[in-house]
Amino acid sequence: MNVEAQENVEMEQELEFAASYRWQHWIRAVSIVVLTVTGFYIAVPFLTPAVNADPTNFMQSLIRSWHIIFGFVLISVIIFKSYLFIFAKNTEMERKALKDVINPKIWIQQIGYYLLVSKHPKLNGVYNPLQFMAYVTFYIAIFVLIITGLIMYVHDFHQGLGGFLYAPMKSIEVMMGGLANVRVIHHILTWGIMLFVVGHMYMAIYNAVFGKEGAMDAIFSGMKWHKKH
């Protein structure tokens, strides 16, 4: 297709992401950023509280409280997103991406697209196979992060929810080799999430630049451009 023909291709907007998806995406993103910063501070305190003669400079406790608050925010959002993926009608295009994951031809075309040697394949769902498997890995890591986080939580809070979760979390802690191992796993997975975020942002920008379909706009407005049929 020559340049003039490309310019004459009509485009139309289609709903890519519903409002519920977009809201949980940004709440999840903010939660991950806050949890990462506060988590690194808890592990290695890098702030010095203001000098005060009274014993009120509980900086570690303050940062830990924000870590816990956003931890439960993330848990809520992940549960909500999991529900949407499995049951919601407006996330059907996400579930349809499973068809492309088991299609070797789509894998080859998609890898070729990222290597700039072939065109983008026609997808059944909203995600290409690489995206879908990256998200699967991401959610597995998030779920393990949540479990390890709850294990450490029940060691600080022994009543209410902490008391209710203590027995099951203690059993999982033993299976993981003890609290020290749980902390290491939690820390390593945090680095994994950070790498995912960097890769996610890179691929989103890549698709926005080379796909020219408003891939980045969709996560804000929900709408994406497609060739008019």
Domain ranges for the chain, please list them.
Answer: 13-227
**Which pTM does this prediction carry?**
0.82
Angle separating helix axes 129-154 and 104-114, nearest 10 degrees: 90
Q: DSSP assignment, residue 12?
A: E
Determine the Cα–Cα distance for residues 211 and 218; give it in Å rounded to an integer: 13
Q: Check pLDDT > 90 for residue 146.
A: yes
pLDDT at 53 over 80: no
Query: Pick the residue with more confidence: 2 or 46?
Result: 46
Is the pLDDT assigned to residue 23 strictly greater than 80?
yes
Give the pLDDT score at 1: 45
pLDDT of residue 114: 81
CATH fold of 13-227: Fumarate Reductase Cytochrome B subunit (1.20.950)
- Give the pLDDT confidence score for residue 90 in this predicted structure: 75
Q: Report the candidate in 160, 107, 96 with the shortest Cα–Cα distance to residue 130.
A: 107
Strand partners, 15: 223
**Residue 143 pLDDT exceeds 80:** yes
Q: What is the mean pLDDT of the chain?
A: 85
pLDDT tens, position by position, 57-84: 788 888 999 999 999 999 999 999 898 8
Mean pLDDT of 85-96: 83
The single-letter code of the amino acid at 175 is: M
3-state DSSP call for residue 13?
strand
Residue 172, number of CB atoms within 10 A of its CB:
14
- Burial (CB < 10 A; 0-12, 13-18, 19+), residue 114, is middle
